[in-house]
């Protein structure tokens, strides 16, 4: 399952984060690393991006990026 | 002995507030060489020997953004005496990730835990002594917005700098990574063990910037070590290291942060966000805030009240009036003193007009930036990007591009400066290149003149409206093309913090507004002043001395270049001169046409033509409906006025890019006008 599949209000644990590259490094720098709990807060009014809570703060990312994040 | 302090921290950690509080008014904003990142320097207000530098806000010291590279190069190469790391206490876990990377450089460090009032309001506690003990650095709680704890912080920083106290060599990595680090360290030749260690970490992270200066042989051996470690770790080392840093932080924070037993209570910020980015309310609220932003800066009927000027327009009026009075005073003094015509004209039409052109924009820049810094500091700006991202992504732009583009309908000068809020260099450049395509207020008089003269009747409105739409469509096409061809391969992502909403402090808003006004006056002012005086010279002189515009250098230039415009439908020297005087200010085209076509000199008539109340029939000799439309399109899209060029130069921090942008606009204007004229003549 990926982060994109979670609905607002649902949470999961990060298993892995996509392919090597600047985007993944940025995602991990922001605290989305294996083992972290991630909760989807809401979806933007136009349907994308999404807002998640991770390590006690709010982060937004596009669905395209959320797809790279495996959760359970 | 002087001490150099660098402030480091995450964006939104309150770093700039700390900087403003400890430097007071003793600060200077410049630019890091070659990039559009502010470089803020100042001195400690209580000790002038203590220099403070505000590093760009970053989440990490990875090599992927200009800000991160600046921050780490400064820490590693310039070696400040001490780094103050501002940590947002409300998201301490993520903030300490940067802290760990600063510790890796082994630079003397002090940690300031900010927003302690919010932490306490939540009922959480942080054990500062324990954190200090584990990391081997002094930890000071502060509330920057209320200037609390800052004296302690500065004492701690100065003490740490004097003692040259390094942080502990904390055990972040596992055995596998540690042994790989040791092997890499042995390959490196740097004298200091700290530097070898730092470089080794970066090499194992796969940092490509750091490999500059290493021999091919060393790089090869490093790669072998990394491969081995990756086999052992069952994954790549870059991810592993990020993971280990966060694991270490979680581990130490267990004994340090005590969360309130109430659990997560939604605070005011959460409640506010529920409304502001609500599925149904977000867009109407967004539209309202954007309307207010635009209206407060540019509207002559503010809040839809007829005749009530917005703060921006009101201030601009005051400046204009004051300037007019001053110019009038100088004029009468000069003529009483018997000054010759050309001196009078130089001072009044050249110098005073030139400075006035700069001064006239300052109120707009001020008002817009007071409001923008309110949006930025309050946390709403991040939501602008969140709400608009989907719409702008397809153009390859950020949701925040909406603000410069919207402001472009008022005036390109503050609009171009507003592009500074965009993070990505690519987004910023493309946004700046297309912002002048939004038809600004000064271009309206040109349309009004043509509409009244050549399009009289019911289609007047449609003609003017279609020009606005044309600008919008060309902007969209340009963004798509620039993305595809000029900036290909540069992908942007949207991994962004949505900070807590906070009420901004008046002080930081005022400082920001003042910086912008000062920056524009100095950096853009010179360009505007010089070009205005130059055009004055060209339009008032020829080799025999001072003459009317009809016989000036500019008229000769107009005659020489008019052939260029033949394919666009207006091969006339007066039309060419209009394009040039339009660069001083687009509305000047009307006055130029009035003078050159109709011999009209009085301001009242020019104003009547500008508002569309009166026609200028003489232009029918040169312009047909098709060529008039082509001329309007050309002036809409071609190089904006010098003030906008100055703003563009200031924001691009590069003449090369400014010239590229101008060339792009000229080519687009030419092609579009050519198409209009060609198709128009085929159809009509």
User: Which domains, ranges and CATH numbers included, belong to chain B?
Assistant: 3-163 (3.40.50.300), 175-258 (1.10.287.1770), 527-683 (no CATH)
What's the number of domains chain A is made of? Answer: 1
Question: Is B263 a residue whose pLDDT tops 70?
Answer: no
Those residues whose C-beta lies under 8 Å from the C-beta of residue B348, and which sit 6 or more positions away, are B327, B330, B331, B334
Tokens of B564: 């260029």
Rounded to an integer, what distance in angstroms lies between the CA atom of residue B422 and that of residue B444?
28
Q: Is the pLDDT of residue B478 over 90?
A: yes
Q: What is the DSSP string of B629-653?
A: HHHHHHHHHS---HHHHHHHHHHHT
Chain A with chain B: Cβ pairs closer than 8 A: 120
Note the pLDDT of residue B262: 65
For A56, nearest residue in chain B (alpha carbons): B91
Average pLDDT over residues B376-405: 91
Please name the member of A26, A56, A57 whose beta carbon is closest to the beta carbon of B64. A26
Taking the C-alpha atoms of residue B134 and residue B257, their distance in angstroms, rounded to an integer, is: 14
pLDDT band, residue B635 (cuts 50/70/90): very high
Tell me the per-residue pLDDT of B148-197, one tens digit each, with 9 for 90 and over: 999 999 999 999 999 999 999 999 999 999 999 999 999 998 888 999 99
Residue A20: give its domain's CATH number: 2.30.30.90
Q: What pLDDT shows up at residue B303?
A: 84
Of the given ranges (A58-67, B403-412, B453-462, B623-632), which has the lowest mean pLDDT? B453-462
Indicate yes or no: CB of A33 within 8 angstroms of CB of B242.
yes
Give me the helix-helix angle, B92-104 and B237-254, nearest 10°: 120
pLDDT average, residue stretch B83-106:
97
Q: What DSSP string runs through B396-457?
A: T--GGGHHHHHHHTT-HHHHHHHGGG---HHHHHHHHHHGGGS--GGGHHHHHHHHHHHS-S
Q: Confidence class of residue B569 from pLDDT cuts 50, 70 and 90?
A: very high
In whole angstroms, what is the distance from residue B653 CA to residue B648 CA?
Answer: 8
Report residue B206: phi and psi, to 5°.
80, 30
Q: How far apart are CA B238 and CA B203, in angstroms?
A: 9
Q: Which two tokens stand for residue B216?
A: 């091919």
Residue B78 has what pLDDT? 93
Dist CA B279 CA B257 (whole Å): 35
Long-range contacts of B41-46, Cβ-Cβ distance < 8 Å, separation of 24 or more:
B44/B5, B44/B154, B46/B154
Residue-range definition of the domain harbouring residue A59: 3-71
Q: Is B253 on the interface with A (CB under 8 A)?
A: no
Residues of B within 8 A of A35 (CB-CB) are 243, 247
Q: What is the DSSP letter of A21?
A: S
How many other CB atoms are found less than 10 A from the CB of residue B82? 25
**CA nearest to B399, candidates A72, A18, A49, A38:** A49
User: What pLDDT sits at residue B491?
Assistant: 67
Closest residue of chain B to A47, computed from CA coordinates: B390
Confidence at residue B265, expressed as pLDDT on a 0 to 100 scale: 60
pLDDT (mean) for B7-33: 89
Give me the half-sphere count of Cα atoms (radius 13 Å) on the Cβ side of residue B521: 14
Q: What percent of chain B has pLDDT over 90?
A: 71
Q: Is A9 part of the contact surface with chain B (CB cutoff 8 Å)? A: no
For residue B390, give the nearest of A25, A33, A46 by CB distance.
Answer: A46
A48 CB within 8 Å of a chain B CB: yes
Contacting residues for B604 by C-beta, under 8 A, at least 6 apart: none
Q: Does B124 touch chain A (CB under 8 A)?
A: no
> Taking 90 as the threshold, does the pLDDT of residue B120 lie above it?
yes
Measured between CA atoms, the residue of chain A closest to residue B60 is A29
Secondary structure (DSSP) of B491-529: -----EE-PPP-PPPHHHHHHHHHHHHHHIIIIIHHHHH
Q: Does A23 touch chain B (CB under 8 A)?
A: yes
């Amino acid at each position: 399952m990926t982060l994109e599949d979670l609905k607002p209000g649902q949470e999961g644990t990060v298993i892995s984060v996509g392919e090597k590259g600047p985007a993944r490094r940025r995602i991990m720098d922001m605290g989305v690393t294996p083992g972290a709990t991630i909760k989807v807060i809401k979806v933007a009014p136009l349907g994308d991006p999404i807002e998640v809570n991770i390590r006690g703060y709010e982060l937004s990312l596009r669905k395209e990026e959320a797809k790279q994040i495996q959760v359970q | 002995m002087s001490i150099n302090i660098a402030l480091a921290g995450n964006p939104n950690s309150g770093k700039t507030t700390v900087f403003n509080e400890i430097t007071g008014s003793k600060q200077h904003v410049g630019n890091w060489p070659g990039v559009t990142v502010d470089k803020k320097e100042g001195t400690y207000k209580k000790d002038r020997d203590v220099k403070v530098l505000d590093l760009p806000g970053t989440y990490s010291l990875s090599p992927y953004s200009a800000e991160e590279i600046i921050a780490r190069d400064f820490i590693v190469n310039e070696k400040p005496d001490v780094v103050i790391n501002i940590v947002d206490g409300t998201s301490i876990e993520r903030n300490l990730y940067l802290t760990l990377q600063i510790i890796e450089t082994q630079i003397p460090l002090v940690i300031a835990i900010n927003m302690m009032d919010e932490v306490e309001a939540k009922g959480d506690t942080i054990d500062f002594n324990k954190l200090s003990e584990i990391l081997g650095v002094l930890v000071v709680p502060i509330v920057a917005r209320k200037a609390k704890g800052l004296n302690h912080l500065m004492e701690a920083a100065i003490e740490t700098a004097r003692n040259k106290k390094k942080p502990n060599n904390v055990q972040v990595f596992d055995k596998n990574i540690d042994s790989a680090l040791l092997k890499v360290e042995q390959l490196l030749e740097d004298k200091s063990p700290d530097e070898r260690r730092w470089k080794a970490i970066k090499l194992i992270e796969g940092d490509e910037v750091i490999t500059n200066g290493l021999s091919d042989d060393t790089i090869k051996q490093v790669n072998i070590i990394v491969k081995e470690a990756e086999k052992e770790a069952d994954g790549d080392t870059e991810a592993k290291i990020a993971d280990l840093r966060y694991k270490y932080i979680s581990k130490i924070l267990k004994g340090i942060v005590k969360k309130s037993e109430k659990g997560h209570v939604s605070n005011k910020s959460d409640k506010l966000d529920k409304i502001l980015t609500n599925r149904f309310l977000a867009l109407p609220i967004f539209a309202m805030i954007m309307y207010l932003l635009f209206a407060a800066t540019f509207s002559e009927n503010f809040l839809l009240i007829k005749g009530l000027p917005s703060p921006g327009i009101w201030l601009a009026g005051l400046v204009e009036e004051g300037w007019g009075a001053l110019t009038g005073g100088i004029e009468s003094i000069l003529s009483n003193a018997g000054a010759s015509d050309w001196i009078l004209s130089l001072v009044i039409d050249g110098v005073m007009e030139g400075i006035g052109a700069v001064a006239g924009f300052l109120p707009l820049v001020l008002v817009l930036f007071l409001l923008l810094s309110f949006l930025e500091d309050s946390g709403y700006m991040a939501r602008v990007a969140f709400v608009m991202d989907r719409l702008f992504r397809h153009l390859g732009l950020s949701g925040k591009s909406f603000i410069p583009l919207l402001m472009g309908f008022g005036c390109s000068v503050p609009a171009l400066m507003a592009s500074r809020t965009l993070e990505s260099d690519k987004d910023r450049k493309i946004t700046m290149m297309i912002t002048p395509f939004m038809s600004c207020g000064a271009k309206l008089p040109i349309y009004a003149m043509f509409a009244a003269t050549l399009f009289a009747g019911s289609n007047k409105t449609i003609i003017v409206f279609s020009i606005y739409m044309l600008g919008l469509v060309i902007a969209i096409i340009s963004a798509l093309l620039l993305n595809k061809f000029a900036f290909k391969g540069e992908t942007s992502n949207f991994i962004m913090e949505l900070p807590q909403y906070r009420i901004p402090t008046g002080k930081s808003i005022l400082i920001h507004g003042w910086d912008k006004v000062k920056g524009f006056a100095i950096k853009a002012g010179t360009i505007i002043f010089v070009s205005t005086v130059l055009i004055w010279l060209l339009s008032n002189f020829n080799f025999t001395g001072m003459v009317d515009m009809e016989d000036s250098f500019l008229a000769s230039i107009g005659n020489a270049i008019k052939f260029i415009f033949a394919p666009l439908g207006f091969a006339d020297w007066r039309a060419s001169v209009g394009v040039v005087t339009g660069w001083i200010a687009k509305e000047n085209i009307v006055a130029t046409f009035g003078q050159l076509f109709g011999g009209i000199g009085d301001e009242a008539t020019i104003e009547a033509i500008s508002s569309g109340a009166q026609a200028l029939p003489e232009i029918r000799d040169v312009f047909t409906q098709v060529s008039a439309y082509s001329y309007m399109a050309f002036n809409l899209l071609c190089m904006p006025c010098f003030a906008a060029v100055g703003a563009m130069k200031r924001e691009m921090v590069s003449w090369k890019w400014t010239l590229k942008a101008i060339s792009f606009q000229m080519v687009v204007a030419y092609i579009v006008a050519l198409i209009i004229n060609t198709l128009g003549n085929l159809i009509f």
